[in-house]
Amino acid sequence: MVTWTLKKGLKNSNWVRTYFYMRNEIDRLKEKYLNKYHFVPEFTASFHSGEVVLGEIGDVKSQIVFHGEPLYTTALVEKCCTQLNKQILATADIVNMASLPVIYSAERVDQHDSSRALELFTIREVDLERL
């Protein structure tokens, strides 16, 4: 899990740039992963925004914990990645706040198997040479 303050996450579209940077780095190192580990790492990403409560629990061995609706929703969206066969999904909340650079486009996706009605978008890199 990666978290940002809303201001830092939205600045320069850091939230989506980080995802594509990691995806592109894995692609770049694909042969190295295959040679050393015999597989290439895969991951999905889900994005949402909202207020969370940060706390510290425990006396002897303390832990930092986050609580709040955004954690539940982000986990639900991540499950939708598998159901919808998408690598990246974001809620309308974050997509509507973001000013995506021209190198990315957001496309609405329909989801049917969720207990909550969420407006979800998948994001892709745009092939600028085709424009």
Asked whether residue 12 is assigned to any structural domain, the reply reads yes
Asked whether residue 81 is assigned to any structural domain, the reply reads yes
Q: How many Å apart are CA 31 and CA 29, to the nearest integer?
A: 6
Q: How many Å apart are CA 38 and CA 98, to the nearest integer?
A: 38
Asked whether residue 1 is assigned to any structural domain, the reply reads no
Phi, psi of 120 (to 5 degrees): -115, 150
What is the domain-level CATH number for residue 98? 3.30.70.1230
Question: Residue 5: what pLDDT?
Answer: 84
pLDDT along the chain (131 residues), means of 10: 85 93 96 96 93 85 84 90 93 91 91 71 82 55
Helical residues (DSSP H) of 1-131, grouped into ranges: 6-10, 14-28, 30-37, 69-84, 92-97
**Which two tokens mark 56?**
């510290």
Range of the domain at 70: 6-130
Asked whether residue 120 is assigned to any structural domain, the reply reads yes
Question: Residue 46: what pLDDT?
Answer: 94
Question: Residue 128: what pLDDT?
Answer: 65
